[in-house]
A and B are shown apart, each in its own frame.
Chain A
Amino acid sequence: MSVVTIEKLGKKYKRTILEDVAFSLEAGTMTALIGASGEGKTTILNIIGLLDSDYTGQVLLFDTNVADLSEKEQAHYRNTKLGFILQEPLLIDRMTVRENILLPTVYLSKKERENVDFQTRLVNLTKNLGIYDLLDEKPNTLSGGQKQRVVAARALINDPELILADEPTGALDQDNANIILQLFKKLIANGKTVLTVTHDSNVAKQHDRILKLANSHVLEIGEEK
């Protein structure tokens, strides 16, 4: 099954950012998206992440045209099928680590919340990521690497199918970067899909495929030559 299918995607601000972009992502794969700064990589992630609907062309998630989804359904997709990881770990300072990680469950319906044992999932996830002892801390006491692992736990708490990561290792040291990459590999082994935007060619090389955004178009590296 194709998790993401993009056809003839176009996006304009004052100038054209994306034009005739097309690619698809298969379940259980890990893809890197590279390209120079300002080319529109984050723009693509916002579109796939259902945060930006101001584009031309077609975006299909799980074989459904997202334009056909209602606002409520789109929110539910973001909530349960998508997980976001950003370069700067965006956490809510007034909440504890635990509350931050559980934030996506707040937007579930009551029934959905009762169907899953989130406490067990929280413990397993945080133990795997080495942040179990930090659950009652506030984010501002954490290091950058710890924060990024909290963000990863939050992205995974609702067990999403597709992870969208924008420079997830950009602000991390080698050890923390490896933790995130190992996590991604574990995820695809379980049939999940990962799309990573990165500048780092070493990080890109560890992915199954590499897509390059240049001059508003996306090309597969390897096909390029």
Chain B
Amino acid sequence: MYFEFIKNIFAKRVLLTLLTALTLISYTFISYTLVRSNLYAFQGRTELRSLVAKTAFVGNDQTPEKMTDQNIKNAKKSDEIARSFIKYLDSNYSYSMHIVMNANLGTAEYSIHTVNEDFFNFYNIKIGKGHNFTKTSFKNNGYAPIPVLVGPNLHRFAHVGKTYKIYNSGTGKNEKIKVIGILAKNNKIASIYEPDSYTYFNNAIIRPLRSSDKKTFNAVELYSGLQDLLVYRTSLANVKKIQKYLAKRSFANVKFYSAKNNLEEFYTSYTKRSTSLLIFSLIIFFISSWMISVNLWKSLEEERQNIALRVSLGMRPTQIYTAAILYQFILTIVIMIPVSLYSLAYSRMLTSGAVQQDSRLMLSSPLPGIEGISLLICFIFIFVFLVLISVILIYRFNKEPLLLRMSEK
């Protein structure tokens, strides 16, 4: 009986109902983006707190392309610079270096992340199986297999204790690796420049930057490592020396920013962007709620006699509320479908990284927490709001008794 009522009364104006649904669908995308981004930004801020606590400075590689190209061509000289630079860093600074190599982007099934020991002072990487690196992992000589942590999506490598051969485009060598741990699902680190965006480690191979690697360090690796190089427990004057060191040798132009200022800057501009999105979302929201109200009210008013008829035949006036709530529930579910599909696709893309992966694996990966929570918040918000509008309108509608105009005048 509720469905009959919904079909013939609430949704009787098919075109307007569809139009309202479409506006609501666009609203779901905006509000979902807004909620998700805010949650991510909040999470990122929490995670990056240690950077601020350790007075970290973040490197931003602004080297002109020409300089980079020239240095990479002239490998003999620039590799030499890279090696002496790493020595210089080791003897003067505390730093966290993170070199990312996406070999053959698009076709590669994994990316190689080479990190030094201090990396783990800032990022909490969770292990699903096996164990994390130890101090000796970073001191290994060049001949033993390299201990690595592998992402949970890389089933080919998912055997703790086994050794494999992989090509590392950073070192330019085939390397023998030994899996010592499998990462937990959805390990991620927030970007220091945009704390609402993340790098996921599901398809990553994390490898230590060992003392022996430093001896064969090259320009390609350094260029990757300079971006987001974290130098900490130091002062701005001190990090400026690093900048000078690289500039003097015509190797790179790296600017360092205080993590604290950087984060503050980000959140100031983020709040601005977020606020304008919020205003935009509110406008769409008011348009859709206006459409819903008009549609609902017109339907009720036009059908007053038909509703009175149903009441005379045994329907309870309060059942109009139940029908409305049911209708809004169905409507909310329907309008949430596109954004849910989008979210699912988006989170798969995120968790799989930029690299390709088996579609079966994607299906088995659940929505990462924030994506799911964002959807839920949007659903609840829209549903509660629709119900509220309906209840107010029906209350107003029921105020005038549902009489039968038994004879037409």
Interface size for B (C-beta < 8 A) is 25
> Closest Cβ of chain A: how far from B305's Cβ, in Å?
6
B312 touches A92 (CB 8 A): no
> Quick one: given A104-B313, A107-B314, A154-B313, are A51 and B403 in contact (CB under 8 Å)?
yes
Q: Assess the A76–B314 pair: CB atoms within 8 A.
A: yes
Binds A, one of B22-30, B315-323, B370-378, B387-395: B315-323
Contacts A51-B308, A51-B402, A90-B306: A104 and B407 contacting too (C-beta < 8 A)?
Answer: no
CA distance A86 to B408 in the complex (A): 9
Pick from B316, B405, B407 the residue with the most CB of A within 10 Å: B407
Interface-centre pick from B310, B313, B406 (highest chain A CB count, 10 A):
B406
CB-contacts of B83-119 with A (<8 A): none
Cα of A80 to Cα of B404 in the assembled complex, Å = 18
B313/A78 in contact, CB under 8 A: yes
Q: Is B309 an interface residue (CB 8 A)?
A: yes
A166 touches B407 (CB 8 A): yes
Give A78-112 interface residues, CB cut-off 8 Å to B.
78-80, 82, 84, 86-88, 90, 92, 94-95, 103-104, 106-108
Task: Tell me which residues from 299 to 347 in chain B have a Cβ below 8 Å from any Cβ of chain A.
Answer: 305-306, 308-318
- Which among A24-32, A41-49, A120-128, A208-216 touches the partner chain? A41-49
Question: Whole-angstrom distance between the alpha carbons of A111 and B81 in the complex?
Answer: 89
A94 to chain B, nearest CB (A): 6
- Give bound CA distance, A54 to B408, whole Å: 22
Q: Are B314 and A75 in contact (CB under 8 A)?
A: yes
Do A84 and B404 have beta carbons less than 8 Å apart?
A: yes
Closest to B4 in A: A106
Please give, as numbers and ranges, the residues of chain B lying within 8 Å of A166 by CB-CB distance: 404, 406-407
Interface size on A, residues (CB 8 A): 35
Q: A90, B309: Cβ atoms under 8 Å?
A: yes
* Contact sample, A vs B, 24 pairs, CB 8 Å cutoff: A51-B312, A51-B403, A71-B317, A71-B318, A72-B316, A75-B315, A78-B312, A79-B313, A79-B314, A80-B314, A87-B406, A88-B407, A88-B408, A90-B309, A92-B306, A94-B8, A104-B314, A107-B1, A107-B310, A107-B314, A167-B406, A167-B407, A197-B406, A197-B407
Q: Which residues of B contact A (CB under 8 A)?
A: 1, 4, 7-8, 305-306, 308-318, 401-408
7 additional contacts (CB under 8 A) given A52-B403, A71-B316, A107-B1: A51-B311, A71-B317, A75-B316, A84-B313, A90-B306, A104-B314, A154-B313
Closest 4 CB pairs of A and B: A79-B314, A166-B406, A107-B314, A87-B407
